[in-house]
Amino acid sequence: MRRNILVYPDPFLSRKASPVAAVDEKVRTLIRDLFETMYDADGIGLAAPQVGVGKRVIVVDVSPVDETAAPVALVNPEIVAREGLCVGMEGCLSIPGVQGEVLRAETVVVRGLDGGGDPVRLEAGGILSRALQHEIDHLDGVLFIDRIPSEAATAK
C-alpha cells in the first residue's frame, strides 16, 4: 500500500525512531509499503519516519543509478564502520525541490536485520553508501539539510 510521505517541516521528521522488537508480519508489511511508496515517488531510499512510522526500518534501491545494486531492506540498521570522506549531491523525498552537497563517509559497514529477521552485515561504497547513511540519518531525526550550510542548498 502506498503511504503518504511527510514533508518538511513536519515535526515528526525530527524525531528519533524506536528500535523494532521483532520482525513480524506488521514489519514486513511496512517494508513492502516503504518499497511501493519509494518506487511510486521515484526515490532510491525511504525510512519509516518519512511515512509517519517511528520505527527503525529503511529501504534502499539504488539500481536506477547503479545497475549492479540489489534492493535492500534493513531493520534496526546501524553503521559500525566508516572510511574515507566524499562530498555528493543529495535530495530527499521529504524535502521536494531542494538539493545540496553533503559530506559523507566514502564507505560504510552497516549491521541490522533483513525482512526475515535474520542478521545482515552490508559493506557499501558509492551511491549505496550515501543512500544508507542518508536513510539511517532519518532514523535519528536528522535531515540532509541539517548537514549542509544553508547557503549551499539549491532549489531544483
Residue 115: the pLDDT is 97
- Which H, E and C letters describe 4-38, residue by residue? CCCCCCCHHHHCCCECCCCCCHHHHHHHHHHHHHH
CA 77 – CA 41 distance, rounded (Å): 23
pLDDT < 70 regions, the chain: 150-156
Q: Which residues are catalytic?
A: 135
* pTM, full prediction: 0.95
Contact 58, 40 (CB under 8 A): no
CA 59 – CA 69 distance, rounded (Å): 13
Residue 130: the pLDDT is 98
Residue 14: the pLDDT is 98
Which three cell numbers mark 94?
Answer: 521529504
| 11-155 CATH fold | Peptide Deformylase (3.90.45)
Residue 155: the pLDDT is 64
Q: Which residues contact 24 (CB under 8 A, 6 or more apart)?
A: none
Using DSSP, state whether 154 is helix, strand or coil: strand
Tens of pLDDT, residues 2-44: 999 999 999 999 999 999 999 999 999 999 999 999 999 999 9
Residue 151: the pLDDT is 58
